[in-house]
Amino acid sequence: MSQPNKQSNFELRKQLKALMTQAQKNELKLQKMQQQELGFISANSLPELIDNILQQYRDAYELDYVSLMLIDPSYEIRHVIEFMSPGLLKLPTLIFASSHTELENVVIAQAAVKEEATPIDFQKNLFPNFKDEPYLGNCTLACKNILFPSITKNPESVAVLPLFRHNELIGSLNLASHDNARFISGIGTDLLKRLSSILAVCIENAINNEKLKLLGLTDALTGIHNRRYFMQRLEEEVVRGTREKLPVSCLFIDIDHFKSFNDLYGHSVGDEVLRYVSDIIKKQMRLSDVLARYGGEEFAVLLSNTDTVLAQEVAERIRLSIANAVLHVDSLEDDLNVTVSIGCTTMTQANNPNTTLLGESLLNSADQALYVAKDAGRNCITVAPFTEPARAQAVH
């Protein structure tokens, strides 16, 4: 074989090898992408989906920062999260915007051009006219402050993927890197657009599922949690408290002489009293606390990582806030004065491994404390020691 032919064959084999190597890389990239997509689609809850987006996706693709912005003009999404998964609201990488213009108007590039010796500032915005093309390029300080507020150093390059559902901008997935060549304008965005489309559907479905769950865990009259939700969270907090050796406190709150409101003014006024009391209690709660209408005129409050002293302080704030306020009802000539009685107990280090029994004992102890408070004249707080259930005896 002549030398030119040998050289030609060598070059062809080299090109074929490069093509095969690239094909293998593309196949691995596709498999990785499909695995991530399956993780998004199969997420069982909104917290799991958010974790897949903000943590697992970032780790899988070795990104420096990932954030998610959701447009929530009526506070509806945040309301659902506040009820169902309040811990998500603490994530610095989960950002909420009150309108789509906050996202659309993020300044990506600024420059000054001179026209007739007069500098004119102009700016390029993310998604003018609701275009759904991802933005790839540099990140200004304004961009960082809105899309990556928790970081101090400006990323060198970013990819901002708009999330659209039903032709409406619902948010953006924001990827950032310290490598200035990671995201550059002009590279192909087909896979990123595919990702944003799938994520938009997954996020919408996850939020809708949380809304459906919330309907079954919310008291229709007061808008706070119901007994079912409280019992679920009680089990979770008792498990956490025993595992991490953290105190868990419980308050039982009863509206004093509630039957008199119904008897004297009718059940509609009684409903007003229930809503009024629940609103006041809610204002005294931390994000991690759980408030529920336990039944009738009784409310239950679960205070995680809260010792007896702090639980008493919370109970006294609630009692005073209600006692010092007055309820105005349009149908009544005079305002109403409402008071509550509160029972308080705290579970510290427990020895019984049965967390269900521990939760029941915590409730029973708080309930007994409430009855003592009512017998003591009402409008007061009683603290009862936690009575730990005995361990089951082995049968020989």
Q: Kindly list the catalytic residues.
A: 297
CA 16 and chain centroid, separation: 50
State the chain's maximal CA–CA distance in angstroms: 112
**Cα distance between residue 293 and residue 82, in whole Å:** 17
| Residue that is written with structure tokens 């009802």 in the block | 329
Joined together, the tokens standing for residue 285 give 């709660």
Strand duo 107-115 + 65-71: pairing? unpaired
Strand partners, 347: 248
Residue type, 85: S
Joined together, the tokens standing for residue 3 give 């030398």
SS3 of residue 300 by DSSP: strand
SS3 of residue 226 by DSSP: coil
Phi, psi of 95 (to 5 degrees): -115, 145
| Residue that is written with structure tokens 């420096």 in the block | 64
Q: How far is CA 210 from CA 78, 203, 213, 333, in A?
A: 11, 11, 5, 42
Other CB atoms within 10 Å distance of the CB of residue 2:
7
Strand partners, 124: 109
**Cα distance between residue 291 and residue 288, in whole Å:** 10
The helix-helix angle for 190-216 and 3-41 (nearest 10°) equals 10
Joined together, the tokens standing for residue 121 give 């500032």
**In the β-sheet with 298-304, what is the strand arrangement from edge to edge?**
290-295, 298-304, 248-255, 340-347, 381-383
Nearest to 177 by CA among 199, 190, 160, 200: 160
